[in-house]
A and B are shown apart, each in its own frame.
Chain A
Amino acid sequence: MGLRLDHLVLTQGSFRLEADWQVPAGARVAVIGPSGAGKSTLLAAISGFLPPVAGRILWDGHDLAKLEPGARPLSILFQDGNLFPHLTVAQNLGLGLSPGLRLTEAQKARVGAVLAEVGLGDKAARKPAALSGGEQSRVALARALLRARPMLLLDEPFAALGPALKAQMLDLVDRIAGQTGATVLMVTHDPEDARRLCPLTVVVADGVAAPPAPTGALLDDPPPLLRAYLRG
């Protein structure tokens, strides 16, 4: 079953993107392509921020069209602004369990456990501004772990991190997705990210999000459009 894009058409102004494919549950898919090709647009549609003009988005056979972003079976991490700056780390995490932030003792304990798991056990009472970029990313990932939704969409949340930190984050994504069995869709500019984490890759270019293909073979022998992008 998993995620299915059924004759999906997205438009924003004169921009148009089509997609018609599916990936099985638990798959890890990199989304790569030139800037402005529509990678973020694709994720925005799946997460419910951009209604399609035609076609359907289905999860396990159920159409997601009627669901608000927060009710969809997914967590999404944006490029920035993944944490509320006025709430503490623990409160930001708590939102993943209860939108009203009324947590039971058991839920509070889970927040603490997850924080410890991402190595931030001592920063629960901090505000995001008092954390480094890498720590902020870990908090956001920890919240995705708490929410444990079937899909995890990553819209380049680690783009601002250095190479070593980014590698750490990808390992953390790997671990979290392994624990929750989540299907991962990750937008990236770096083919190495795709190789590291995602056996499948979707190329977004020229108004089409192509069906997922095995990452290794794709990157070793890229089709012309992707080659132009990768080789500059």
Chain B
Amino acid sequence: MAIAGLMAAALAVVFLRAGSPRLGAADWAAVRFSASQAAASALASVLLAVPVARALARRRFAGRGLLIAAMGAPFLLPVVVAVLGLLAIFGRAGLVNAGLAALGLPQIGIYGFHGVVLAHVFLNMPLAVRMILHGWQGVPAERVRLAQSLGLGPWGVFRHIEWPMLRGVVPGALLAVFLICLTSFAVVLILGGGPRATTVELAIWQAVRFDFDLSRAAMLASVQFLLCGAAVLLAARWTAPGVLGGGLDRALSLPAPGGWRRVADVVAIGAAGVFLAWPVAMIGVWGLGGLTSLPQAVWAGAATSIALSLVVALLTGLAVVALASAAARAGVLARLAEAAGMLPMAASSLVLGIGLFLMLHPVMAPSRLALPVTALVNTLMALPFALRLVLPAWREAEATQGRLADSLGLTGLGRLRLAILPRVRRPLGMAVGLAAALAMGDLGVITLFASDQGGTLPLQVWRLMGAYRTDQAEAAALLLTVLSFAVFILFDLWGRCGTEA
């Protein structure tokens, strides 16, 4: 309930402080850019994901399981690291431009609309692949057998099996990517900017940091909230399949045609693998050398980030347990609790951030509370994911164990500890790990609050990039990547080592 209250307060302050309800030309440009880059990113991600998902669905090869698991990794990869990796390849001094220069060809630029879309595709195509692959694996084996017994060729299989499946799955994938990109901040902060490439999210930040025009920031935040709310409502009509869940290794006897289709599948998987692995590999290889010569501020930032991520993990764990225990019951209160947990979907990190900023600003300097606010916002933003992971298991535990627990008089904490938590430990570990990793890599609301010194590790990476100290930035990015995955794996392992009956 505190969550709902906090959210409502933050949003109310935003709406109250929103100045003139009229949007200037620059604001409209930001709205248009937000929507158009998100639409382009979603289209490109999903269009590219379809052949990859199809190839993964019908081919069997060594390392396939690993590759599918790795498709979940960009979700945990800090955005600033991904962008840095892409810059190392496509940036001004990157590999591609070096090659072009050697051949005497004109340079390509990564900044602006297409750079933003490129980064979004890098970050979200794997998500789309997993969603669509899920659809492919959901095709009933009987249907496939029927198609084979009727002698349908690849075209027939596509028309009668794959196309209907895609029509069900693709809209959900498009909307999911669109939503993520709509509120994208760090990517646009680095690769966008300027009047022609500013999202609403970035415009909020600029209004605060450059102009200190709080009422304009509040107005933009209101616009952003309405925009996201509309998109979320739209998305709610398509129930997205569980993207992070398991079930990816089910044997499915999809026909695997030979000939040029075989070649095409190999190309699809290979290209996707290279596109996704290359930038990360660049950071890994180039960053390794610089690890020893990192400035003190980076190590201090790392310590701050670790503490921040552990606090977020704790807060998320507590909040998700509280919400799920309320939401797993029946009745109005349960639906309220579930809605409260899902509400942050409609708000973006900076919308919440600006709300808290406005609440704090009259009382004290917001920069003094940069870290607590960042922890709070990160927890709120992680809650919808966490609740989605934990709630089904919780309901299952209540359904199968609840009556027995009642008959033995298990109530309160004892019930939680003995009857429920052991059954939800796995998804809980995963959810908390996700929250911790996302908090570790988040370059969002902290930029709104932080003073010029100190701050988190992603902030340090960004500052090093801004100062053109690329080597140090890459080394710090490597450190950040390792830390992000380490916290996730740590909590995930905690969940897995739970004694399974």
Residues of A within 8 A of B (CB): 47-49, 68-71, 75-76, 78, 81-87, 91, 95-96, 99-101, 127-129
* Known contacts A49-B403, A81-B400: A101-B409 contact under CB 8 Å: no
Q: Is the CB of A68 within 8 A of B409?
A: yes
**Which of B400, B406, B417 has the most C-beta atoms of chain A within 10 angstroms of its own C-beta?**
B406
Chain A residue numbers with a CB within 8 Å of B407 are 47, 69-70, 75-76, 78
* Known contacts A49-B406, A78-B403, A81-B401: A86-B411 contact under CB 8 Å: no
19 pairs, CB–CB < 8 Å, chain A vs chain B: A49-B403, A69-B403, A69-B407, A70-B405, A70-B406, A70-B409, A70-B410, A70-B411, A76-B407, A78-B407, A81-B400, A81-B401, A81-B404, A82-B404, A84-B418, A84-B419, A99-B414, A100-B413, A101-B418
Residues of B within 8 A of A (CB): 400-401, 403-411, 413-415, 417-419, 422-423, 498-501
Q: Is the CB of A68 within 8 A of B406?
A: yes
The minimal Cβ–Cβ distance linking B405 to chain A, given in whole angstroms, is 8
Q: Is the CB of B403 within 8 A of A68?
A: no
The minimal Cβ–Cβ distance linking B301 to chain A, given in whole angstroms, is 40
* Known contacts A85-B501, A129-B501: A78-B410 contact under CB 8 Å: no
Chain B residue numbers with a CB within 8 Å of A100 are 413-414, 417-418
Chain B residue numbers with a CB within 8 Å of A83 are 404
* Known contacts A81-B400, A81-B403, A81-B404: A68-B418 contact under CB 8 Å: no
Count of CB-CB pairs between chains A and B under 8 Å: 66
CA distance A216 to B131 in the complex (A): 64
Q: Is the CB of A101 within 8 A of B414?
A: yes
Q: Per DSSP, are chain A's interface residues mostly helix, strand or loop, or mixed?
A: loop
Chain B residue numbers with a CB within 8 Å of A99 are 408-411, 414-415, 418
Q: Is the CB of B414 within 8 A of A86?
A: no
Chain A residue numbers with a CB within 8 Å of B418 are 84, 87, 91, 95, 99-101
The minimal Cβ–Cβ distance linking A176 to chain B, given in whole angstroms, is 17
Q: Is the CB of B409 within 8 A of A127?
A: no
Residue of B nearest to A91 (CB): B418
Residue of A nearest to B418 (CB): A101
Q: Is the CB of A68 within 8 A of B411?
A: yes
Q: Is the CB of B410 within 8 A of A95?
A: yes
Contact partner of A84 (CB less than 8 A), chosen from B401, B409, B498, is B401
CA distance A127 to B407 in the complex (A): 20
CA distance A197 to B108 in the complex (A): 88
CA distance A99 to B416 in the complex (A): 11
The minimal Cβ–Cβ distance linking A77 to chain B, given in whole angstroms, is 9
Q: Is the CB of A78 within 8 A of B409?
A: no
Q: Is the CB of A86 within 8 A of B499?
A: yes
The minimal Cβ–Cβ distance linking B219 to chain A, given in whole angstroms, is 52
**Which of A82, A91, A95 has the most C-beta atoms of chain B within 10 angstroms of its own C-beta?**
A95
Residue of B nearest to A129 (CB): B501
CA distance A48 to B408 in the complex (A): 12
Chain A residue numbers with a CB within 8 Å of B411 are 68, 70, 99
Chain B residue numbers with a CB within 8 Å of A49 are 403, 406
CA distance A101 to B407 in the complex (A): 15
Q: Is the CB of B501 within 8 A of A69?
A: no
Which 6 pairs from chain A and chain B are nearest by CB? A70-B409, A85-B501, A86-B422, A100-B414, A69-B406, A99-B414
Residue of A nearest to B421 (CB): A86
CA distance A92 to B405 in the complex (A): 11
The minimal Cβ–Cβ distance linking B413 to chain A, given in whole angstroms, is 8
